[in-house]
Amino acid sequence: GTGTYTILAQLVAGHTGIPLDKIEVVLGDTMLPVGPISGGSAATASVIPAVLQAARAATEMVLARAAAVDESPFKGVDKDTLAFGAGRVHRKTEAAEKGVPFAQILQAAKMHAASGKGSAQGGFDDPLKKHYSIYSYGAHFAEVTWQPETARLRVNRVVTVIDAGRILNPRAGRNQIEGAVVMGVGMALFEHTMYDAQSGAPINSNLADYIVASHADTPALDVTFLDYPDPVFNELGARGIAEIGLAGVAAAITDAVHHATGVRVRRLPVMIEDLLLGSM
């Protein structure tokens, strides 16, 4: 998917210390609070404030009960001297590992769960956009090889540099950009829908006839994140990286084709016929 499930689980785990395998993320249900759409590279960055607010509210509830209930080992302790870390309640002067599992506090308080709520404004209607540029930016550089003797065109290498604020999950983020670059290779050199002139129906409406980039067509990929946190959008300084990985890839490839062949192709995908005719 878009990686939102993983990112949200990592945010909660990072704030509470609860293991990832104990965290369940639920999205896309009308019974849940209203959230941003999964588009426009805005989902993750927009929900960060809400998730962190909710996590803090839940942990504050646990700390309050830890200082109040009789069965708690922290009974009578000032709540402000307690902290929540590694999934445990502990004194701020002690390591989190020496604390008490939060489940024990809930059991002592006869609570089945501690809940918290959070909210955030974000997405396409974010009021910040009236005063700040909160978009992500990227640059793609492509290298192609053209062999006119065999009419063979190949993308050898693509170097991509992305400025998307703080990258919360570098491995997943890099995979997302690499996948987008491969999509750009398909856009530039392979993917083309042909339509029947009489019916208007697509002729190559299957993966046997509609050509997409394969592993053999994938160039060497070099992705670099500048990783400059942008705290204007949210406290973690993260923005979005989705579409920015695809935008501009086909343009970079066609520019490289022009540099290699001297032929300026102005429609996608680049056809071998265009290069052969243009070089005559």
DSSP state of 116: -
Between CA 246 and CA 240 the distance in angstroms is 13
Contact 122, 45 (CB under 8 A): yes
- Given a contact cutoff of 8 angstroms between Cβ atoms, the answer to whether 124 and 45 are in contact is no
How far is Cα 163 from Cα 244, in angstroms, rounded to an integer?
10
Distances (CA, A) of 108 to 1, 7, 19, 68: 39, 32, 22, 10
Assigned token pair, 205: 């409406």
If you search the block for the tokens 């708690």, which residue do you land on? 72
Cβ distance 223 to 157 under 8 Å?
Answer: no
The CA–CA distances, whole Å, from 14 to 49, 114, 157, 168, 263 equal 14, 18, 36, 11, 52
Catalytic residue from among 24, 94, 243, 273 = 243
Helix, strand or coil, per DSSP, at residue 124: helix
Enter the tokens of residue 167. 């990258």
243 counts as catalytic: yes
Tell me the CB-side half-sphere exposure of residue 256, using CA atoms within 13 A. Answer: 23
- The 10 Å Cβ neighbour count of residue 185 is 25
Q: Residue 72's Cα: distance from chain center in Å? A: 40
CB 237 within 8 A of CB 230: yes
Catalytic residue numbers, as ranges? 243
